[in-house]
Structure 1
Amino acid sequence: MALFSRSADDKAPIESEPVGKRTPKQSEQVARNRRPLVPGDRKEARRQVQDKMRAERQKARLGFERGDEKYLPPRDKGPVRRYVRDFVDARLSIGTLAMPMMIVVLVLTFINDPQWRMIANIVLWAFVAVVVLDSVLMAWQLRRAIRAKFGQKDAKGHGWYATMRAVQLPFMRMPKPQTKLFKYPE
Structure 2
Amino acid sequence: MKLRLPGRRNRAEAAPDPAADQATQLVKAGGKGRPTPRRHEAQGRRPGPPPPPPTTRKEAYRRMREQQALRKADTRAGAARGDELSLPARDRGPVRKLVRDVVDARRNAGSFFLVVAGLVLVGYFIPNPAVQNYTVFVWFAFFLLIAGDSVFLGRRIKKKVLERFPDQPHRMKGLVWYGISRATMIRRWRFPKPEVAMGADV
Partner secondary structure for residue 174 of structure 1: coil
Q: CA deviation at 1:44?
A: 3.2
Shift of residue 88, structure 1, vs aligned partner = 0.3
- Report 1:1-186 matches (<5 A): 39-151=54-166, 153-154=169-170, 156-157=172-173, 158-185=175-202
Q: Which amino acid aligns with 1:85?
A: R
Give the whole-Å Cα distance in 2 for the aligned partners of 1:156 and 1:49: 42
After superposition, the CA RMSD in angstroms is 1.7
CA distance in 2, matches of 1:44, 1:125: 57
Against the structure 1 CA distance between its residues 154 and 184, is the aligned structure 2 distance closer, same or farther, given a 3 Å change threshold?
farther
Letter in 1 for 2:67: K
Change (3 A) 1:155 1:54: closer
Question: Which SS does the other structure have where 2:199 is aligned?
Answer: coil
Deviation by residue 1:56-110 (Cα, 9 ceiling, x = unmatched): 1111111111111111111111000001001101111111111101111111222
Give 3-state SS (helix, strand or coil) of 1:102's partner: helix
Moved more, 38-47 or 71-80: 38-47
Note if contact 1:64-1:71 (Cα within 8 Å) is conserved in structure 2: yes
Equivalent AA in structure 1 for residue 109 of structure 2: I
Gaps of 5+ in 1: 1-37
Q: Which amino acid in the other structure matches residue 86 of structure 2?
A: Y
4+ residue stretches of structure 1 with deviation over 4 A?
A: none
Which structure: larger Rg? 2
What is the letter of the counterpart of residue 168 of structure 1?
A: M
What is the alpha-carbon distance in structure 2 between the residues aligned to residue 142 and residue 96 of structure 1?
Answer: 17
Compute the TM-score of the two structures, normalised by the length of structure 1. 0.74
Q: 2:201 and 2:74 mapped to 1: Cα distance?
A: 29
Give TM-score scaled by structure 2 length. Answer: 0.69
Asked if structure 2 preserves the Cα contact closer than 8 Å seen for 1:146 and 1:155, the reply is: no
Residue type of the partner of 1:156? M
